[in-house]
Structure 1
Amino acid sequence: MDAAQAPRIGRVFALIDGNSFYCSCERAFAPALNGRPVIVLSNNDGCAVARTPEAKALGIAMGAPFFKIRDLCRKNQVAVFSSNYTLYGDMSSRMNEIYHQFAPEVEVYSIDESFLDITGLGGGSYVAYGQQLRQTVRTWTGIPTCVGIGPTKTLAKLANRTAKNHAELNGVCDFSDLATREKYLPATSVGELWGIGGASAAKLKAIGVETVGQLRALDPKRGRQLLTVVGERTIHELNGIACLALETLPVGRKGIAVTRSFGRPVTSLVEMQQAVAAYATRAAEKLRRHGLCAVQGVVFMHTNAFNGDKWSHTSKAVEFLEPTDDTQELVAAATRAAATAWREGYRYAKAGIMLTELVPLTMAQTSLLATIDRAQRDRLNQALDAINLRFGRHTLVPAAAGLKQAWSTKFERKSPCFTTRWKELPKVAA
C-alpha cells in the first residue's frame, strides 16, 4: 500500500518515554553527570541494566556483568549506580501527571513509557505538540524524552524508536504525517518493530521479508499464518488500521510476586525464614495498595548452579482459610512453608513468595470458622502502612523479618531517594 492508498487518519497516538530512564533519573539530581557515561546495575549490583549513550559508546553492553567491566568503568570514569526503584517509580509518577495535563487519555505502558491519545490536539502540528510535551517534562522533572506519533500504537512505537535513531528529528517523529512515514518506514528493519522478536524476524526473513516496507505489503492472512494473530494485527497497524485500543484502566492483577536474590548465600533456616517473612510483608503491602486479597500462593527457594553450588529448587504451597491481605497471616504462613521447603546442606541464592489467586477486597468471602478479629487487624495494617509511608519503608516491620538482614540484596552504590524521604532531600548550599 503506497501513500496515496493509505486510509484516512482518525485517532492519533503518541508514545513518550524517558531516554536511558534509570540513568536520567540519577542525572536529574546530579547535573555534573551530564555528558559523562552512566550505568545502573541490577539487583546485587550484578550487571548493567541501563546505560547512557556515552556508556554504550565505550562498548558496555546491556546485561554486561559488572565484575567484567569494573576496570573499564574505572578507567573511563563511568558513574555506576545501584538500582533505586523508589526514586525511579516516583519520577515515573511525576511524568505521568504531566502527561494527563496534555492528553485526556493516558495508558501507562511501563515505568518509562506511556501512550497518549492526542487526536485533534496541537493546533494542527503534532510535532510542535510533541516538542512542547518534551520541553515541559524536561523542565519540570529533568528527564529527557523522545516522542513518537502515529495513527496506531504500533506506528507510534516505531516512530518513537525512529526519533531516537535520527538526530535530525530532534526527539519527535510524526508518523501520522504520510510523507514522514514514507521517508523512514520502507527501509526500517522488521527487527525494530514492537512484538517482532528474533524468532519472528527469522521466519519473515525466510520468505524474503526483512524491512517494515516489505512487511506492510504482505497479505495479513499470510502474516497470521506465519506469526499468529500478532502478525496479522501488526500488518494492519503498519497500514494505519488501528487494532490496539488505549488501555486507560489498569488490568486486574492475577498474581503478586516478591522475589529477591540474596546478597550472600543463605545457609541457615533462621535467615531463610527472616527473608521470606520480609518478602511476605512486602506482598501484603502490595495487596492492600491494590485493594486485593490472596487465597493461595507458593514460597520457593533455590541455589545458584552457575557458581558450582549443588542445585536445589524447592517450593511449598500456602493456602488461607479465607482471602486475606493481613501482614501477620501472610508472614506466619510463609515462614511455615519455608520451614517445610528447607533442605539442609545447601547454599540458597534466591527465594520468594508468589500469590497466585487474588480476589478484590470487596468480593472476599469470610469464613464462619475464622478466629481473627478482622476489624482490629485492618486498623493495625492501616497504621503500619501509614507509618511506613510517612517515615519510609521498613520503619515498622514484623520481628520475624529480622533486624540486621545480612542476607538482603546488595545496593552498595544506591543514590538517595531524593523525592520520597525527608532525610534524603537534596541539599542546596547558598
Structure 2
Amino acid sequence: MDQVFALIDCENFYVSCERVFDPSLRDVPVAVLSNNDGCIIARSEELKAEGVPMGAPLFKWEEKLGELGAEVLSSNYALYGDMSRRVHSTLEEDALKLERYSIDEAFATLPGLKRENLQRLADSIRRKTLRQVGVPVRVGVGPTKTLAKVADENAKARKRAGWGLGTYVCPPEPELEELLRRVPAHDIWGIGSAYEKTLKEKGVASAAEFRALPDPWIRSEMTVVGLRTAWELRGRSCLDLELVRPDRKTLVRSRSFGERVTSKRDLRQALAKHAQRAAEKLREEGLVAKGIKAFITTKRFGDGPCYSNGVAGSLPEHTARGASFVKASRRLLKPIYRGGYGYKKAGVCLYDIRPARPHQESLFGQGREEDEALAEAVDQINREHGKETVGLAAAGLPGGKGNLGREWTMKRQKRSPRYTTRWDELPVAHA
C-alpha cells in the first residue's frame, strides 16, 4: 500500500486553546460558551466526566458549574481560528497531503509503512503538535478515511480508559473484524441516525455486520453513498482527500444580538457590518457575487410577538466591494422592517458567486482599478493591525457610543484576550 489515511483530531479544542495561554486553567474544569454566552459549546474532560451535556443552557447549569469550581469563558473565535491555522501548518510538515476538514480536524495521507512504524509516526505527530502549538491531538490511522475515523474513535476510548496516549493504527484482518464488531452501526462515519432504523430492521448492529451485507442490498436501501462506506470499511479506499475547496454557492454572515433590537438604525448598522464582513470574505477567497439577501428575525421563542422576514436583490454586476453590498443591505431593509418588534438576529446572504476575474459586465461597469486598490489597502491594514482597524462608517465602531456605537453587539462578557491576533492583547510576562 503506497499510502494510508490519518485523522488528526484536536482534543477539546476550544478549551485547549484557552489553556495554552492561561496555565491556571490546566487541570481545572472549563466551559466555553456560545454566542451571547447562552449555551455550553465546549467542555473540558472534567466537565464531561461530571455529565455536563453539550449545548446545555448556561442558566440551567450555572449552579452546578459553581459547585465544581469551573471556569466559564465566552467564545474567542479569533484565537481559535489562528490556533487552528498553526495546528494545520504543523501537520503539513509530516503529511504527504493534508485536507483541512474542520477547525479542529484534518485528514492526511501518510506513507504506507509497516504498522509499528506508522504507530511511531502517529506518536511523533502527536508529540510535535503538542510541543510546537500546545494543543493535544489524537491520531487515528487506517487504509481508508472511514477506517481512520474508526481508529480515531478507538484512540479516544482507549485514552479515556487509560490504555493509550491518543494514537491508534488500524490492525490487519482478523483483528480489524474484532474492532469493527465493537463499533455500533449508527456510529459509522457517513451512516448516522438516517439509516439506523433501516439497519436495525435488517438485524445489523455493528460496523462488521454492516460491511458484510450484500452490495446490491446496500445500494438499493442506502444509495451509492452507503455502498462506498461499506467498501471503505472493507479497506477499499473510495474517498480521496478534498484538497480543492468545492465551489462556494452562498456566503452567509449573521449574528445574534446581545439585547433585543427595536430601532431601524441599529438593524441598518448590523446589516452593514455583516455585508462588509461578507465582502471581505469574498476577497479572501478570490470571489465576487451579484446577489444579496437581507433578513431579520425575532426568533420564535421568548416573550413578545414573533416576526421574521427577508428579501433578495441584485447588484448591477458581480463585485467584492463592501460599499456596494452595504448600500444594497440598507435598501433591502426598508420593505421588511416592522416597528414594535424586539429583533434578536440579522444577517445577509450573498449568492450568484463566481471566481473574480477581469470582466466588464455592462457598458458602464464599475470595475475600476482604484476601487480594487483601495480594498486591497484596507484588507492589508486589517491583516496587520487587527480586524476592523479600518472599515465603513455605516457599519459602526466596535465599542463605540452614540450614533456610531454598536449597542447591538453580542454579549462576550467572559472572553479571554485575543493573544495571537491583536497587538494590544498580547500576553505579558513579568520577570
Q: TM-score, normalised by structure 2?
A: 0.94
Q: State which of 106, 111, 124 in structure 2 corresponds to 1:114.
A: 106
Equivalent in the alignment of 2:381: 387
Q: Secondary structure at the match of 2:183?
A: coil
Moved more, 278-287 or 305-314: 305-314
Equivalent in the alignment of 1:376: 370
Equivalent in the alignment of 1:268: 263
Is the contact made by 1:174 and 1:180 (CA closer than 8 Å) also made in structure 2? no
Q: CA deviation at 1:21?
A: 0.7
Q: CA deviation at 1:225?
A: 2.2
Q: Deviations over 1:154-189 (max 9, x none)?
A: 000111011001122321111154465234221211
Q: State which of 137, 142, 153 in structure 1 corresponds to 2:145.
A: 153
* Mapping 1:186-197, distance limit 5 Å: 186-197=181-192
Q: CA deviation at 1:124?
A: 5.7
1:48 and 2:40 matched: yes
In structure 2, give the amino acid aligned to 1:32: S
Q: Deviations over 1:222-252 (max 9, x none)?
A: 1222222221111110000111011112222
* Mapping 1:58-97, distance limit 5 Å: 58-97=50-89
Query: Equivalent pairs: percent with the same residue?
Result: 41
Equivalent in the alignment of 1:27: 19
CA distance in 2, matches of 1:87, 1:190: 36
Q: State which of 191, 198, 205 in structure 2 corresponds to 1:203.
A: 198
In structure 2, give the amino acid aligned to 1:381: A
Equivalent in the alignment of 2:236: 241
CA distance in 2, matches of 1:109, 1:152: 15
Is the contact made by 1:151 and 1:176 (CA closer than 8 Å) also made in structure 2? no
Equivalent in the alignment of 1:407: 408
Q: Deviations over 1:372-424 (max 9, x none)?
A: 46222112211211111111112122111123211011111111111111111
Q: State which of 77, 90, 93 in structure 2 corresponds to 1:98.
A: 90
CA distance in 1, matches of 2:303, 2:363: 51
Q: CA deviation at 1:123?
A: 9.2
In structure 1, give the amino acid aligned to 2:238: C
Q: CA deviation at 1:364?
A: 4.4
Q: Secondary structure at the match of 2:52?
A: coil
Q: Secondary structure at the match of 2:374?
A: helix
Equivalent in the alignment of 1:4: none
Is the contact made by 1:106 and 1:115 (CA closer than 8 Å) also made in structure 2? yes
Is the contact made by 1:12 and 1:176 (CA closer than 8 Å) also made in structure 2? no
Q: CA deviation at 1:122?
A: 7.8
Is the contact made by 2:360 and 2:367 (CA closer than 8 Å) also made in structure 1? no
Q: Secondary structure at the match of 1:12?
A: strand
1:296 and 2:291 matched: yes
In structure 2, give the amino acid aligned to 1:410: K
Q: CA distance change for structure 1 residues 334 and 122 in 2, over 3 Å: closer, same or farther?
A: farther
Q: CA deviation at 1:119?
A: 2.4
Q: Secondary structure at the match of 1:306?
A: coil
Equivalent in the alignment of 1:343: 338
In structure 2, give the amino acid aligned to 1:83: S
In structure 2, give the amino acid aligned to 1:307: G
CA distance in 2, matches of 1:89, 1:255: 21
Structure 2: gaps spanning 5 or more residues = 398-404
CA distance in 2, matches of 1:401, 1:353: 13
Q: CA distance change for structure 1 residues 233 and 328 in 2, over 3 Å: closer, same or farther?
A: same
Is the contact made by 2:115 and 2:171 (CA closer than 8 Å) also made in structure 1? no
CA distance in 2, matches of 1:392, 1:248: 29
Q: CA distance change for structure 1 residues 319 and 81 in 2, over 3 Å: closer, same or farther?
A: same
CA distance in 1, matches of 2:16, 2:107: 20
CA distance in 2, matches of 1:27, 1:220: 48
Q: Secondary structure at the match of 1:410?
A: coil
CA distance in 1, matches of 2:421, 2:196: 43
Q: Secondary structure at the match of 2:354?
A: strand
Structure 1: gaps spanning 5 or more residues = 1-8
Q: Secondary structure at the match of 2:73?
A: strand
Q: CA deviation at 1:191?
A: 2.4
Q: Deviations over 1:300-322 (max 9, x none)?
A: 11112210332211111121111
Count matched residues.
421
CA distance in 1, matches of 2:207, 2:359: 49
Is the contact made by 1:15 and 1:157 (CA closer than 8 Å) also made in structure 2? yes
Is the contact made by 1:121 and 1:129 (CA closer than 8 Å) also made in structure 2? no
Q: CA deviation at 1:85?
A: 1.0
Is the contact made by 1:107 and 1:116 (CA closer than 8 Å) also made in structure 2? yes
Q: TM-score, normalised by structure 1?
A: 0.94
CA distance in 1, matches of 2:227, 2:367: 54
Equivalent in the alignment of 1:419: 420
Q: Secondary structure at the match of 1:305?
A: coil
In structure 2, give the amino acid aligned to 1:360: P
In structure 2, give the amino acid aligned to 1:401: A
CA distance in 2, matches of 1:231, 1:356: 31
Q: CA distance change for structure 1 residues 177 and 140 in 2, over 3 Å: closer, same or farther?
A: farther
